[in-house]
Amino acid sequence: MKLEVKDLLPDYFEQERKTTSEIWGKELSFSNGDLVNIVAPSGTGKTSLTHFLYKMRESYTGTILYDGKNLKNCSKEDIAALRKDHVSIILQDMRLFEEQTLLENLEIKRQLNPYHPQERIIEMARALGIDHRLNALAKNCSYGEQQRSVIIRALLQPFDILLMDEPVSHLDDSNSRKAIGLILEEAFKRNAAVIFAELERAAYFPATQLYHL
């Protein structure tokens, strides 16, 4: 799948941003196998960009195209299919069903498009060190545990593009490395593009493209 952004700028940003940014106001194209690292300090629009690419918000000018199809013209059903089969996301604010256990949260995602069997959830949880917390309610888990669950949730579906907005912000260095390792392993299996927005350049992420937002 090919993702293109053309002359993109949030409505609430001034035009001058286009001159200093390597993303806003530019024409870029990402496709399967690309490992894109977007480095951006706070307030430069990382979360906005991720939300625009996932059609969670539409407050922008410019164009986002998936395989040549304008995201703004996609129906709600088209978007649901895109999110289910082609584009996965790890959001910074995590968003779990708080009254459900971590396992239930993961199953709700997995049943939508069961790319992996249920055993794989346990394997991935073990790899990230949260297998003992799978039956705990999400609201009773720490941010770190929740973040690791959200990473697993994103990896349960098939995808061509994985969007990540500060996916390891609540993890220590060792756990971050493990998490990115798992993400890269799953992305390689699918030959997917990974778009990784972070505050600083991540040393353990072998980026093929680097952009400053």
Nearest residue to 183 (alpha-carbon basis) of 209, 200, 207, 199? 207
> Judged by CB under 8 A, does residue 100 bind other proteins?
yes
Cβ within 8 Å of residue 49, ≥6 positions away = 8, 23, 38, 197, 213
Residue of 108, 127, 136, 207 that binds other proteins (CB under 8 A): 108
Q: Given the rule CB under 8 A, which of 66-74, 106-114, 140-148, 193-201 is the region that contacts other proteins?
A: 106-114
One character per residue 61-80, x = contact with other proteins (rule: CB under 8 A): ---------------xx-xx
Q: Kindly tell me which residue out of 16, 67, 81, 139 binds other proteins, with binding defined by CB under 8 A.
A: 81
**Smaller CB distance to other proteins: residue 150 or 195?**
150
SS3 sequence of 129-176 = CCHHHCCCEHHHCCHHHHHHHHHHHHHCCCCCEEEEECCCCCCCHHHH
Q: Which is nearer to other proteins, 35 or 163 (CB)?
A: 163
> What part of residues 45-64 is at the interface with other proteins (CB under 8 A)?
54, 56
Q: In angstroms, how far is CA 100 from the centroid of its own chain?
A: 22
What are the Cα distances from residue 161, in Å, to 43, 98, 99, 130? 24, 27, 29, 25
Residues that bind other proteins (rule: CB under 8 A) add up to a total of: 27
Residues 147-166 vs other proteins: string with x where CB under 8 A?
------x---x---------
CB 78 within 8 A of CB 119: no
Q: Please say whether the dihedral angle defined by the alpha carbons of residues 156, 150, 152 and 168, taken in this order, is positive or negative.
A: positive
Task: Give residues 113-152 in contact with other proteins (rule: CB under 8 A).
Answer: 113-114
Is residue 199 within the footprint of other proteins (CB under 8 A)? no
Positions that interact with other proteins (CB under 8 A): 54, 56, 76-77, 79-85, 89, 91, 95, 97, 99-100, 104, 107-109, 111-114, 153, 157
